Amino acid sequence: MENTALTFILSTSWGRALTPAQVERLAGEVRERTVPAGTTVCETGAQVQYWKGVMDGLVKMSVVSPTGAHSTLTGMPAGAWFGEGPVLRSEAWDFDGVAMRPTRIALVPKASFLWLLEESSAFNRFVMAQLNERLAQFMAVIEAERLEEPETRVARCLAWLFNPVLYPGVGAQLELTQQEIAWLSGTTRQRVNRALGLMEEAGVLVAKYGAVRVLDLDGLRRFRAGPAPVQALARPALRPVPRAVATAPVRPAGTHAPVPMPA
């Protein structure tokens, strides 16, 4: 039976540089897991057993505070590898990964990952480049979150999903719905719709039904949106104030009406 996880590895830049002996060892160690949408593929606090690659599908990387506040860090489309940080520095995952659609995951045991770091210079260089790109990505995420408009955050999110180092298999088009983009960028679907319109006007991408095609990746990375126009609230029509009808006060019997004071 074909080891599809191994086939996926051999399609990568570092996989093609492996020696026959290294490939033979991995053939007996790596495996594949297929999960439906909504499945947790890694969970904060769980023991790190594998370095993972997205063979097909889409995974959302996020964190949750003790009070329940949720923040999405990034999305990982087909071709992405993740978990090198937790594998190297700790025994537990420090973020959650959830499949946003049916997804196939390649699993490389932690021991195999550490062995490859020692045995394969190509793999070592790949992991170093991966860590460097992730650092740049999360710095950009923090900057956009704190300083930019939501539409710009959408652009940054999309630009990173087309990063050729982190996601070499994506190409120029990625299947994404507006709702998925909203989840990944931490904004609303309405903001995503406006952002895609602005980016189409700028000529950096074309939004299709369920997909985004990038025309100018450098332009997408530089894209910045101005503040969304605030529509003036419609003022309610003023109702005419009814005029008071003067009525004669009721006076006790035997009294006279007061005499007006001279002006």
Domain boundary among 131, 147, 163: 147
- Expressed as residue numbers, the domain containing 132 is 1-147
Domain boundary among 124, 147, 170: 147
239 domain residue, yes or no: no
Residue 240 is classified by DSSP as P
| Residue 57 tokens, joined | 């599908």
Q: Are 117 and 196 contained in the same domain? A: no
User: Percentage of the chain with pLDDT > 70?
Assistant: 86
- Does the pLDDT of residue 249 top 90, yes or no? no
Are 92 and 86 in contact by the 8 Å Cβ rule? The answer is yes
Domain count, the chain: 2
Per-residue pLDDT tens for 47-59?
A: 999 999 999 999 9
State CA 70 to chain mean position distance.
12
Q: How confident is the model at residue 240 (pLDDT cuts 50, 70, 90)?
A: low
CATH of the domain at 41: 2.60.120.10
Domain boundary among 147, 172, 188: 147
User: Percentage of the chain with pLDDT > 90?
Assistant: 71
Residues paired with 35 in a beta bridge: 103
Q: Are 174 and 60 contained in the same domain? A: no
- Separation CA 248–CA 245 (nearest Å): 10
Q: Are 116 and 168 contained in the same domain? A: no
Per-residue pLDDT tens for 188-198?
A: 999 999 999 99
No. of helices (H) and no. of strands (E), the chain? 9, 11
Q: Are 72 and 157 contained in the same domain? A: no
171 domain residue, yes or no: yes
Q: Are 12 and 133 contained in the same domain? A: yes
Q: Are 89 and 72 contained in the same domain? A: yes
State CA 53 to chain mean position distance.
17
Q: Are 97 and 53 contained in the same domain? A: yes
How high does pLDDT run on average in the chain?
87
76 CB neighbour count, 10 Å cutoff: 26
Farthest CA pair distance, the chain: 122
Q: Are 129 and 153 contained in the same domain? A: no
Q: Are 95 and 15 contained in the same domain? A: yes
